[in-house]
Amino acid sequence: MEMDQIIEHDKTGARNKDKEVVIISGSSGLIGFPLIEKLAKNYRIIGLDRLGPPYPPLQAECVNFDITDERKIDAAMERIRYGYGSKIASVIHLAAFYSFNTKDSPGYDEINVKGTRKFLNQLQDFEVDQFIFSSSDLLYKPTEPGKKIHEDSPIGANWGYPESKINTEELIKENNENIDTVFLRIAGVYNDEGNSIPITQQIKRIYEKELVSHFYSGDVTHGDVFVHMEDVLDAIVRTVERRKKLPHEIAINIGEPETPSYKELQDRIGKLIHGEEWETYEMPKRLAKAGAWIRDLVGDPFIKPWMIDRADDHYELDISRAKEYLGWQPKHRLMDSLEKIIADLKRNPEEWYKKNNLKS
């Protein structure tokens, strides 16, 4: 380098940049990672996550924190204050514990409920315009086919994960006096590679022609709501962009407006994989529980005995509030997306199993 060459350094520092600050907890997760890539075009992104890999994308500064330890959360927030100041446009809280292995777990209370309380305590010292909580449509009481669930429908969880979402929503309401809050009640998320445990497990059973793939312990005309990852990202981006136009506190359903029944999914998957509709028979719950219990003793199957009790649950979402306040509606449908998911499976089964954390 020549001695007289002048290097121009940024004199303002990160905190004085024109872009507003957005914080994302769970920033290296399935939603957090691509969300950062979407939001980084217009915002300065800070990703909060546990120490060690995986890491958020390079568009975000990675700040390590442990949501169960308030001192570590405090240290993380002080780093943010030092680098970016106290003004935060939006905090998108995605960090959560989730497991199909057990009906209840200490993690639901320790991470989802108590962890969120500790996080909110630290945010009180900041000027936060908006707090977005990634909730779940599973916190509603199940409905019947043809009866849609709106945001004021009855609440009622029957296992640990949605119960923790109910409890967390309540504690947020008690501690958000100065922060506008949006509860995004998100359906089961999937993408074009699968990445949805219930969907990929159902595909796996049919692909491998397992005997259990022909039986179901619930009403085969019932089903769950799903939503494509791209549509979830779009909903969150719109929520951030419209934060100054939203009410102080609002819950919004995010899901596809049509709910495919279990039988419809079975037939569609069977047709795409094997060229024929899949014969599916309803099994008595007592027999199904006994079978699941025995399988659980000799291996680690996806279907656990406790799941049998909720096999009849049915969810259909009214998304009119999302249309009204966010201008949002999904562009994808699971019944159409199954073609891409299964095409990906057929191209490279081994790689598909690996991407979806499945054992052959």
pTM for this one?
A: 0.90
Task: Check residue 236 and give its pLDDT.
Answer: 98
Q: How many CB atoms lie within 10 A of CB 219?
A: 17
Taking only the tens place, the pLDDT of each residue in 193-221 is: 999 999 999 999 999 999 989 988 889 99
Give the β-pairing of 215-216 and 281-282. Answer: parallel
Of 107, 92, 114, nearest to 241 by C-alpha is 92
Q: How many CB atoms lie within 10 A of CB 152?
A: 9
Task: Check residue 18 and give its pLDDT.
Answer: 78
Helices and strands in the chain, H and E counts: 12, 13
> What is the 8-class DSSP label of residue 155?
B
Task: Check residue 2 and give its pLDDT.
Answer: 43
Task: Check residue 4 and give its pLDDT.
Answer: 47
3-state DSSP call for residue 300? coil
Please, are residues 271 and 277 in contact by the beta-carbon 8 Å criterion? yes
Task: Check residue 285 and give its pLDDT.
Answer: 64
For the chain, the domains span 18-189+227-258+316-332
Task: Check residue 31 and give its pLDDT.
Answer: 94
Q: Cα dist. 207→213, 235, 272, 349, 350 in Å?
A: 9, 33, 10, 10, 13
18-189+227-258+316-332 is a CATH 3.40.50.720 domain: yes
Under-70 pLDDT residues of the chain:
1-17, 52, 55, 100-101, 284-308
In terms of residues, how long is the chain? Answer: 360
Burial environment of residue 83 by CB neighbours within 10 A (0 to 12, 13 to 18, 19 or more): middle
Q: Cα dist. 301→180, 194, 201, 204, 236 in Å?
A: 42, 19, 10, 12, 34
